[in-house]
Every structure is written in C-alpha cells, then in structure tokens.
Structure 1
C-alpha cells in the first residue's frame, strides 16, 4: 500500500516529490481540528480576543495560496534545481536510524538562518512580513504565509544539505516536520512549559515573543523546533511581558493582495526613488528599518507607526502614514 501510494505520487509529482507540501496538505484536517478545539476552549473561558474573524479568513486565504504557489513552483522550477544540485552532491549521506536526527538538526539549522535572514534582509522580509502583520495569535496565524516565497528564492537556504548529499525528498520531509510542529506554537492558549523544555525547544511562549513588536522582542527567537541556535547566536529572549502582536509599521488591511505585496511594492518604489544608485540598491539587502539619507520611506497603502514600548493605554494615537 505504501509502495503504491509512493508510486502514484512519483507519477504525479516526479521523482523528487515535494514531501513538504504532501505532508502539510495531509495534516490540514488535523490543523483545522486543533483550531476548533482552541476556539472552543477560548470561548468557554470567555477569552475570545485573539479570534478576529476577518484576520482568520485572511490567514486561511494566505495559507491556501501559499500552498498552491509552493506546489506549482516545485513542479516548474525548484524540484529541478534541487535535482540538479543533488546530481552534483559532494557525498552520499545514507538515511537511516543513525542519520535521521543529525539530518533534522541540519535542516533546522538551515531554517534558523532562513528565518533570521527573512527578518534582517528586506528582500526576504518582503515575503515574510505577512506572517507578522497579524495582530492576534491563534493556530491559523501559522498559515499566514505569502505567495512571494517562491519568487524571492527562499529555497536557497535548503540547498546546502542537498549539496552535501541528503536526498531532496528527505530535506523537504524534514522541513515539513519542522513546519508541522510550528503550527502548534502559534497560540495564546498554552502558557509556559517546563523549564527544561523551554530551554531546548521552541514553545508557544518562545514563539509569542517572536511575533511581538515590543522593543525587547523584535528579531528574537527564530528557531522552528529547537531554540538552541537562538541561545547560541544571541537571538533568544524569554517572555517576560505581555506580547504586543504585529509590526511596528502596521499595515491596515485584510485584503489578500495587499497583504501579499505591500512590502515588495514599497521596497521597489524606494529603490526607484531618486538618489545615488548604490544607496538605492541597498534597500534590497539592508534591514527593513534601514533609512536612506535624504529619502522618506514610501508607503503605498495606509500603515500606522506604533510605539509598542509605551504602557498600554498611555501611548499617543498611532501615527497614520
């Protein structure tokens, strides 16, 4: 039965099956069930503030489009790229009980640098920002992804394991396991877990920090399953104050198209604005908050600049840009 299913998938998707998409699509019923349970529990406790239905609908729409875009990109381009790299691999790494864990840690290490780069390089932030523009936290926030991931080349972060000799299908499967786990850390319903677990793994508490626009939380906790690389590279922060979700220049829209492209459009308009060519080009690789001398950042759609450092109720009205 397993061999038959594998043969069918290979016939449909090619020799290098994108097990990431296969597993994520297969897990969708469980994801939906978990959300229903999360919502029912919050409703029973009278804690429904983290469920805004317009945002939830936007989350599901973004996630569905992302899944479709990733599958098409694999069929049209990325699958062939990974296959070509694997043909030129440096070693033959076997996949067995001894190597599965090291391979997973290797993929998690790649994920850490993908995630960190997606916050610190505006080119990749343009595709990652939809995930952070939501102002609530529930399981559907995990689905809040962008179709632009396939255009900005985020797949390059997972090329190294393939070049070393890990089969592409294994790399994609390990990444899928990483992403499935992450679905369940996008919640306000679970408090802190035992200290030993918080020290080694990403948890709802650790990941709430990652989604905070509080100054002490910005650009922290990039880990997917493990939090050890954050501790090793100095990007870890514990949850010590209430998390203010969202981004500091908050986009005011639930429109599917705007959520996907607003940062990309603004970045390209910043590059096209008058000024020295070298300075203009730096908008592509500098951090999202970088300001070019003499240039006022462009905002095509309405955003609000929010000071998350002010006590709740004490800050001035957010500045509309």
Structure 2
C-alpha cells in the first residue's frame, strides 16, 4: 500500500479553511466568496479522485525507472532530507514548465483560476496531471536511486507544506524565514496577474530556487495584488475551470496552419502565430516600457 501523507492531512486542511473563513468574516469579508469556495472544494474533490485513479500508474513508472538504474540509495535516514530537497527542485522545474509550456499549463491553470486568495484556493489541484505527463519531472529521482515510495512521500509532504501559504491572513514571516522558505507573501506574488509579478516565484517549499535561477520577485505593498489569470474565466463551473484550456488548445491546433500546430502545444501560454495575443513576457515588457516612460 502506497503511503500518501496528504490523505491524513485532509481533515487538518478542512479545519484550517473553516478557521480562516470564520476569521475572514470579521476581519476580511472579501477574502471568501461562497460560489468560488464551492468551486475550489469541488475541484479539490475531483483532484483527489483523479489522483487515486492514476496513483498506481505513477508508482509503476517510478518503479520502472528505479529498476532500470544500477544506483540504489535505499532507506537510510539521510536519504529522506536529501530526497525532499531534490524533489522540491524537481517541483520547481515542473512548476516553471507549467507556466512556460502551454501543454503543462493546461493542466495547471485551474490552480490559478480563482480571483480570491485563501486556503480553499490551495485545493484547486489538477485533474489532468497524469494525462499531461507531469510525473516525468520526478523520474530523474528514481533514476538517481531514490526509492519510489520515498519520492511519493516527499512529494506529498511538499504539497502539504504548500497548503498554508495560500492565505492573506499572514502578511510576512520573520526575515530569516522569508529568505529561505516559500511563504504566503512569496506565493501571493506567484498567484498575481499584475504585470510585474507574472511568472515569478515558482517555489514549492524553498524560495532559494527562484533566487538562484532569477525568477524571484518580492511582494510590493504599493502594488495591490490582483488574483486569477490574465484572461479571467468568469465561471464557477468546475468542469469549465478544469478543462477550458484543453479545449482552447484543441481549437487553436485545429485552426492553425500545419507548420504552427505543434507550437500551440509547446510554446508559452499566450503565444500565437500571427502575434494577435500576448505572452507574459510581452505583457511585462510593455509594463516596463510604460514605467520607464513615466519616470522620464
């Protein structure tokens, strides 16, 4: 039986959501919206079902990769923290790809679909991650000799950590903590649609990856964060939230000239062969140009 720590954390997630909801009613009424929260809960339930249906296949992939390598790290105590750190690096790689490659974005976009930012938003996990082959980012750990069960357990603990950072009720953590760990402040930046914040702070647990690879942005209290995606969905229908980008990809591939069809799968979200849309890089460049003109 595969150990999944997330299963045991679900009651804690629910209790914390209820606690934050009660807090928000008195301190920040706009933090929660009933239809938005219901959508988050429905997507969270669906992702749990989808994960359960594909768990055996993911485990089989990791077992295959582990059996294909002569390396074997085993279950030594020191392998656990090492696996956790390397799994977090693998998560950073996946997460960055999920924002820069439209195929992976189609599976990830539902996590960013809410225009509210609260603990229930964390439940908006993918239904289509297995279809998108997002598991490939953890295969190198198995090839490196880490036990498949250890990899999946570390991935589960990583996901548990990320739950609490989906909140506006915590402004800043101590400076030393903000310097190393992912925090609500850092992750609010990641969920923002403000031009300065687009495609920043991909971290799971450790913000050091963003600082090392040049994708870090600090939260600026003078620039109030707006949440969601660049082109808001405008729907609380869980099916539309989960599948809308896959349908959009299918339309684009169908209509595009043959030489551009694959580009609509592997280029960044917002790319178009005729330049009629904007990518996040284009939006940021336009914002930087406007900011420079204002200074002049």
Report the TM-score when normalising by structure 1: 0.83
Quick check: 1:28 aligned with 2:10?
Answer: yes
For 2:168, which of 188, 191, 195 is the aligned residue? 188
| CA shift for structure 1 position 90 | 3.5
For 2:122, which of 142, 150, 155 is the aligned residue? 142
Q: Distance in 1 between matches of 2:277 and 2:84?
A: 43
Q: How does 1:76-91 map to 2 (within 5 A)?
A: 77-91=57-71
| CA shift for structure 1 position 279 | 1.2
**Counterpart for residue 293 of structure 1:** 274
> Could you tell me whether the CA contact under 8 Å between 2:110 and 2:241 is conserved in 1?
yes
For 1:251, which of 217, 233, 254 is the aligned residue? 233
> Could you tell me whether the CA contact under 8 Å between 1:280 and 1:292 is conserved in 2?
no
**Counterpart for residue 7 of structure 1:** none
**Counterpart for residue 306 of structure 1:** none
- Output one character per residue of 1:246-281: Cα deviation in whole Å (capped at 9) or x when no partner: 111111111111111100110111011041x22121
Residues 117 and 274 of structure 1: is their aligned pair in 2 closer, same or farther, counting only changes over 3 Å? closer
Q: Distance in 2 between matches of 1:135 and 1:285?
A: 26
**Counterpart for residue 223 of structure 1:** 203
For 1:279, which of 234, 256, 260 is the aligned residue? 260
Write out the 4+ residue segments of structure 1 that deviate beyond 6 Å after TM superposition: 294-297
**Counterpart for residue 22 of structure 2:** 40
Quick check: 1:179 aligned with 2:159?
Answer: yes
| CA shift for structure 1 position 170 | 0.3
Q: How does 1:43-192 map to 2 (within 5 A)?
A: 43-45=25-27, 47-75=28-56, 77-192=57-172
| CA shift for structure 1 position 118 | 0.3
Unaligned runs of 5+ in 2: 279-286, 288-296
Larger helix proportion of the pair: 2
**Counterpart for residue 312 of structure 1:** none
- Output one character per residue of 1:121-164: Cα deviation in whole Å (capped at 9) or x when no partner: 00000011010010001101000122111211111111110111
Q: Distance in 1 between matches of 2:232 and 2:70?
A: 45
SS in 2 for 1:212: coil
> Could you tell me whether the CA contact under 8 Å between 2:43 and 2:238 is conserved in 1?
yes
Q: Distance in 2 between matches of 1:65 and 1:121?
A: 24
How many residues are matched?
Answer: 278
| CA shift for structure 1 position 243 | 1.0
Quick check: 1:198 aligned with 2:178?
Answer: yes
Report the TM-score when normalising by structure 2: 0.90
Q: Distance in 1 between matches of 2:119 and 2:148?
A: 28
